[in-house]
Amino acid sequence: VPVEISIKSDCSSTVENILSQTVECMIIDYNLGSFQVAGYNGVEIANELWRHRKNMPVFMLTSYDENMYEHELFSAFQVFNYARYLGDHKEQDDIHKKIVRVIEHFKKRIDAWECELNQLLERRGESVDIDSRILELDSELEASLDGTYAFPQKMKRDLSESNLLKLVERLDRLLEGND
């Protein structure tokens, strides 16, 4: 279901607005259409958004293709000419199909990571390689779904199993009122 997002006076507020919605991808106008008060562009929104949701599909509409390639952020697959999009029904269908394929790919990647993580969790502690892969998958999932809560790899490694057990024991004592 399409959701129209209000452009705020600063990029961070706009991204907060986006993150508060349930969206699977973003289609952004490079120049943000007629919102001259913004002081930022669609690429800046995309960059800020990816800081919170690393792999979120973002597509850019623009009448100025050179702007996109100048920033080298988007593949040609994800940059669409605004005039062609509005004026050509075949172009609209092609773009919509591309968007659906990218969203499906994103969801499949998330599902594959979750499946692999669940399988590896059963083998936790068997080897350093397995534990490292668990941390890597966990980080990818956190960063892709809501990077706001992703812990850096070093912090996760520092949280050894024994430290976690001590923390759980302390929490149990606190909950029982014995600490």
Local structure of 26: helix, strand or coil: strand
- Distance between CA 41 and CA 160 in Å, rounded? 43
Mean per-residue pLDDT, 128-152: 77
- Distance between CA 66 and CA 81 in Å, rounded? 11
Mean per-residue pLDDT, 27-35: 74
- Distance between CA 117 and CA 138 in Å, rounded? 7
Tell me the percentage of the chain whose pLDDT exceeds 70: 70
Side-chain half-sphere CA neighbours of 79 within 13 A:
18
Answer whether residue 115 shows pLDDT above 80. Answer: yes
Of residues 98 and 161, the one with the higher pLDDT is 98
> 59 with 28: CB under 8 angstroms?
yes
The pLDDT value given to residue 167: 62
For every residue of 66-126, DSSP letters joined together read: HHHHHHT-S-GGGEEEHHHHHH-HHHHHHHHHHHHHHHHHHHHHHHHHHHHHHHHHTTTTS
- Distance between CA 13 and CA 19 in Å, rounded? 10
Answer whether residue 112 shows pLDDT above 90. Answer: yes
Side-chain half-sphere CA neighbours of 88 within 13 A:
10
The pLDDT value given to residue 3: 78
Confidence of residue 105 (pLDDT cuts 50, 70, 90): very high
Mean per-residue pLDDT, 91-96: 82
> 32 with 82: CB under 8 angstroms?
no
